[in-house]
Amino acid sequence: MSDRRFFVGGNFKMNGDKASLDVIINNLNTVDSPNDVVVAPPSPYLSYVASKLTSNVKVSAQNCYKVAKGAYTGEISPAMLCDLGISWVILGHSERRHVFNEKDELIGQKVKHALQSGLNIIPCIGEKLDEREAGVTEQIVFEQMKHIKDNVEDWSRVVIAYEPVWAIGTGKTATPAQAQEVHEKLRKWLADNVSNEVAQSTRIIYGGSVNSGNCKELAQGKDIDGFLVGGASLKPDFLEIVKANA
Ligand code: 13P
């Protein structure tokens, strides 16, 4: 077993209201785990959730912009997140890439600015179905990694999320072998392009239709250091996923 601490993130996406979040928070307040557990509510609820969590569960934003302030209507900045005591942010999620058309270059700029501002980041990468079928998965995820890597100085504040786009919200989870295969290649890529030390210490987590039924088997992959969970993070099942490695 690696000495990388298992990491489970819950990405609520654009879901929840105060009443349903209260139920989730009550559940999260029972979490007693040595793992890192981080949840990402929609931005209007960041402070609400953070103020009600009594357990060791941390709060993350789902996105932020590449500068500290200014005339960018609708955006939120890392400085604002830090001001609220929020310590994590997800960047480059596939829905940001494919629904909001965010490109690698912008995601790289966000990575740089978020780290410079003191946040911990969860940059996301992953291939689309046609890319997997065309046999270019590696090429795609390595290119995405390059834009992230070029903007990272402190890898201790980075958790890479590999989320194959075809597995997100579809119920089609990557098999444990498919996930492990890509994670292993990503770790080798880090060794070849950053350093062996960073490759060994950086958490690479899997996302895409993770649930209480498939999490334990996925967690056995030696390069799978945790999960980024969408739909199931809104359900009581999330507590099972949090201890998938136990
Ligand atoms: P699902 O778990 O709903 O497939 O979503 C995964 C995801 O996008 C997490 O960021």
Question: How many residues are listed for the chain in this entry?
Answer: 246
Q: Is the pLDDT of residue 98 over 80?
A: yes
Tokens 């965010």 -> residue: 102
CB atoms closer than 10 angstroms to residue 194 = 15
Task: Note the pLDDT of residue 171.
Answer: 84
E strands, the chain, in order: 7-11, 36-40, 58-61, 88-91, 120-125, 159-162, 203-207, 226-229
Domain ranges of the chain: 7-242
Ligand 1 nearest-atom number relative to CA 171: 4
Q: Taking residues 137-157, what's their average pLDDT?
A: 98
Among 95, 102, 163, 183, the active-site one is: 163
Residue 90: C-alpha distances to residues 135, 181, 241 (Å): 27, 23, 19
Q: Taking residues 32-46, what's their average pLDDT?
A: 97
Q: Which of 162, 206, 210 has most ligand 1 atoms within 8 Å of its beta carbon, as the pocket-test mutant?
A: 210
Gap between the Cα atoms of 89 and 155, Å rounded: 15
Gap between the Cα atoms of 180 and 173, Å rounded: 12
pLDDT in tens, 190-241: 999 999 999 999 999 999 999 999 999 999 999 999 999 999 999 999 999 9
Q: In which band, very low, low, confident or very high, does the pLDDT at 1 lie, cut at 50, 70 and 90? A: low
Enumerate residues lining ligand 1, CB below 6 A: 11, 93, 163, 168-169, 207-210, 228-232
Task: For residue 156, give the amino acid letter.
Answer: S
Q: Ligand 1 centroid to 71 CA: how many Å? A: 31
Would you give the DSSP letter of residue 230? S
Q: Which residue has the higher pLDDT, 55 or 46?
A: 46
Q: Taking residues 153-181, what's their average pLDDT?
A: 94
Ligand 1 nearest-atom number relative to CA 211: 2
Is 113 assigned a catalytic role?
no
Give the rounded percent of residues in the chain with a pLDDT score beyond 70: 100
Gap between the Cα atoms of 109 and 148, Å rounded: 9
Q: Is the pLDDT of residue 14 over 70?
A: yes
Q: Does domain 7-242 have CATH number 3.20.20.70?
A: yes
Q: Ligand 1 centroid to 107 CA: how many Å? A: 19
Tokens 């009600």 -> residue: 52
Task: Note the pLDDT of residue 172.
Answer: 85
Ligand 1 nearest-atom number relative to CA 124: 10
Task: Note the pLDDT of residue 75.
Answer: 98
Q: Is the pLDDT of residue 2 over 80?
A: no
pLDDT averaged over the chain? 97
Q: Which among 11, 6, 1 has a CA at the least distance from the CA of 35?
A: 6
Is 147 assigned a catalytic role?
no
